[in-house]
Amino acid sequence: MDFKTKEEVHNRAVQIENIKQKDLIKMLNLHIKGNKNAMGDVFEAWFGKPKDSASQPDLGVSELKATPFKRLKNGDISAKERLVLNIINYEDLDKENFENSHLLEKNKVLELGYYEYNKDIPKEDWFFAKCVMYEMLNNKNDLEIIKKDWEIIQSYVKQGKAEEINEGITNYLAACTKGVNKHSMRTQPNSNVMAKQRAFSLKGSFMTTLLRDYIFGNKHSDAIIKDSTELSTQSLEDIIHSKFKPFIGKSVKEIVNDLNIPIKEIKTIGKYNVEIVNRILGIKSRNGIEADEFKKASIVPKTVQFNQRNTNKESMSLPPFKFKDLVEENWNDKDGSPEASLNVYFSETKFLFVVFKTDDDGINYLKGIKFFRVPEDQREGVIREAWQQTVDTLLSGVKLTFENNRVSNNLISSKDRKIIHVRPHAAKSSYVDSKDSNELPVPANWTNKPSEYSDNFMTTQSFWLNSRYIKSAVEDLL
């Protein structure tokens, strides 16, 4: 097939929607061995494209990408993984500028075929739910942030430090490991040190936001940056710092007055923290602190309240997990890239801690903000150990003890001081099949089990970031 315009590609793409994989294979007379990449192979075959590794866009005018999404237990839609673009040639990257880069030339128009990853139905019954044309050049704010990410990655190559590149250094565009295995290496121009082979990719958080806001019609979040020209001279982090700067060191009472936040008698001053952050950033949200840029860049904002003794009582909850999914994960994939959900979360996530502290007179102050990433050695060290301990505990049968009308377990706790711990992430405790529980991979080992409780279900849990660890990350602001 010959496609002269991106519109022709898109018109062809939407015709594939809702046709099952097995029917597409018959229609296209395909002979696919195995089904790991079947959806991608079928999508390309739909356009008459042969398998290759060409540096030009697949169809000249558009790059084709089949990409999976999943439905979470609460009904939300989420991208299953990052979107891998093209392999990075460090030798070429060193000489390029963004406007004439291989990345932009190949990927400025993406024809995305979204299909649902659903383990509960046979893969041959999977289908493309939605096809979307995403144009980088038409999304000015996204483009400016992607450009700065590209320049950050390039700067490592120019400094002869390609071996130090990781997915945590950028916001939307990442450089993920990509090769036959984790030992796949490439030369770099400004150093004799071999560096891991990497590919440009759009982060999972970015792909999830595209899904929710642009494709499945969920309400679009407010953007912090109203004018893309702001990004021509400043980074996203610089802009956020500049918005907070006039208020740092002021009391909550002063800030509430400066921002004309209505005083409510039922609210204590400390309860204004989230509203203050939203007002400073110029966003409106009914669900905590939500902004378009935060979602796409996997920036997790968190207000941290300290008392006069420099104590913060609250640990921070991470996304809940299903026990059966957790034990089936590998910490890293064959490329050495993060695969387990917790590993992906910490490798991609940048925390924005907004720190408040009350003084001896009970007056609450905004002390400052800090962007923070969990260091790689901690992620691959103590956090990985805690994750593995959790997996091993579940596979050997979690120990549950009923005593004094409550259930305790032997999952990792904050007292273990391993940066993270496991605790409930549900409205109510539940040890039967319910919306507040999920199924265990191995029956629990009970002590004093009530007759109405099950061996096979346990209250939904999540990992939590320890309060002491959060304090250590922001202690310089106190």
Residue 52 scores a pLDDT above 70? no
Spatial separation of the C-alpha atoms in residues 147 and 128, rounded to whole Å: 30
Q: Which two tokens stand for residue 279?
A: 């007002």
Q: How confident is the model at residue 252 (pLDDT cuts 50, 70, 90)?
A: very high
Residue 323 scores a pLDDT above 70? yes
Residue 219 scores a pLDDT above 60? no
Q: Please provide the size of the chain in residues.
A: 478
| Upper half-sphere CA count for residue 69 (Cβ side, 13 Å) | 26
Tell which residue, 408, 392, 402, has the closest CA to residue 441: 392
Q: Determine how β-strand 299-306 pairs with β-strand 350-358.
A: parallel
Residue pLDDT, tens place only, 86-144: 999 999 999 999 999 999 999 999 999 999 999 889 999 999 999 999 999 998 999 99
> Do the beta carbons of residue 185 and residue 395 sit within 8 Å?
no
- Per-residue confidence (pLDDT) for residue 216, from 0 to 100: 73
Q: How confident is the model at residue 32 (pLDDT cuts 50, 70, 90)?
A: confident
DSSP string, 398-437: -EEEEETTEEEE-S--GGG-SSEEEEE-SSS--SSSSTTE
Q: What is the mean pLDDT of the chain?
A: 92
**Contacts of the segment 8-13: beta carbons below 8 A, 24+ positions apart:** 8/61, 9/47, 9/59, 9/61, 9/62, 9/64, 9/111, 9/133, 10/62, 10/111, 10/131, 10/133, 12/46, 12/47, 13/46, 13/47, 13/111, 13/113, 13/131, 13/133
Residue pLDDT, tens place only, 443-463: 999 999 999 999 999 999 999
Spatial separation of the C-alpha atoms in residues 234 and 148, rounded to whole Å: 9
- Per-residue confidence (pLDDT) for residue 146, from 0 to 100: 96
Mean pLDDT for the stretch of residues 16-38? 87
Residue 180 scores a pLDDT above 70? no
Q: What SS3 state is found at 306?
A: strand
Instruction: Give the H or E element holding residue 258.
Output: helix 252-258
Mean pLDDT for the stretch of residues 54-68? 83
Q: Which two tokens stand for residue 103?
A: 């990345």
Spatial separation of the C-alpha atoms in residues 90 and 102, rounded to whole Å: 11
Q: How confident is the model at residue 56 (pLDDT cuts 50, 70, 90)?
A: low
- Per-residue confidence (pLDDT) for residue 460, from 0 to 100: 95
- Per-residue confidence (pLDDT) for residue 220, from 0 to 100: 64
Helix H segments across 114-213? 140-158, 204-209
Q: How confident is the model at residue 31 (pLDDT cuts 50, 70, 90)?
A: confident
- For residue 150, count other CB atoms closer than 10 A to its CB: 22
Residue 33 scores a pLDDT above 70? no
Cα dihedral 130, 134, 138, 144 in deg (nearest 10):
130
> Do the beta carbons of residue 301 and residue 350 sit within 8 Å?
no
The interaxial angle of helices 273-281 and 236-244, nearest 10 deg, is 120
What letter does residue 476 receive in the DSSP assignment?
A: G
Mean pLDDT for the stretch of residues 302-323? 94
Q: How confident is the model at residue 75 (pLDDT cuts 50, 70, 90)?
A: confident
- 337 vs 182, 228, 327, 340, CA distance in Å? 8, 32, 18, 10
